[in-house]
Chain A
Amino acid sequence: QVQLVQSGAEVKKPGASVKVSCKASGYTFTGYQIHWVRQAPGQGLEWVGRIDPNSGGTDYALKFRDRVTMTRDWTLSTVYMEVSRLRSDDTAIYYCARKSYEAFEYWGQGTLVIVSS
């Protein structure tokens, strides 16, 4: 069965970077885009960006283009999202999700990132 398993919670100081992983299993890794979505405490969902694991091609929401980098490792069937120059308002749960058709059919369990001095 399709599974997306994310790395554990992180606590970082402002200005630092964080790298969250999303390990895929149960399907052909290169066949589907992985998207990242975040949710600040008590807030709504926000689309961050996406990566095509086959080509490595990426697209990011405008507000994240200078601070977010998505990569993949074929050998590990894992995608990564790194957020640099962290601010307190980056505190959120970060989800990875697999795109099927035109929707996010499978989701990871979420990774809590806390940015605090």
Chain B
Amino acid sequence: QSALTQPPSASGSPGQSVTISCTGTSSDVGGYKSVSWYQQHPGKAPKLMIYEVSKRPSGVPDRFSGSKSGNTASLTVSGLQAEDEADYYCISYVGSNNYVFGTGTKVTVL
């Protein structure tokens, strides 16, 4: 199972929006609603930001939103803040109790 494809980097100025894509196939992203997104700051464990494509856990700001179209899922961060600068990873269920992560995207707040 190959890693899902994410852009290596994305950036925006404070207050702007940035959208990160996560592209797979009909056997993973396109075939299931089990796509989630994680934020990881350097030296820290990942933190769940979005689950089941578009649901937000309690405590996650509503600036973070998720969506999916076909074989591509997306994470949008609106109203960028300095603390949003981090690495972001998607993961999808691929069947048979297996999962695959995306390649990761480094978000820079300019």
Contact = CB atoms under 8 A, between A and B. Distances in A.
Q: Say whether A and B bind each other.
A: yes
Contacts of B47: 107
A103 B54 CA distance: 12
Which range contains the number of A residues in contact with the other chain?
Answer: 20 to 34
Nearest to B45: A107
A101 B45 contact: no
A7 B87 CA distance: 25
Interface residues of B, number: 28
Ranked 9 nearest A-B pairs via Cβ: A103-B51, A59-B97, A102-B34, A103-B36, A44-B104, A107-B45, A47-B99, A45-B101, A45-B89
27 contacts: A35-B99, A37-B101, A44-B3, A44-B87, A44-B89, A44-B103, A45-B38, A45-B40, A45-B91, A47-B99, A47-B100, A47-B101, A50-B97, A59-B97, A59-B98, A62-B1, A95-B46, A97-B46, A102-B33, A103-B51, A103-B52, A104-B36, A104-B38, A104-B91, A105-B57, A107-B46, A110-B45
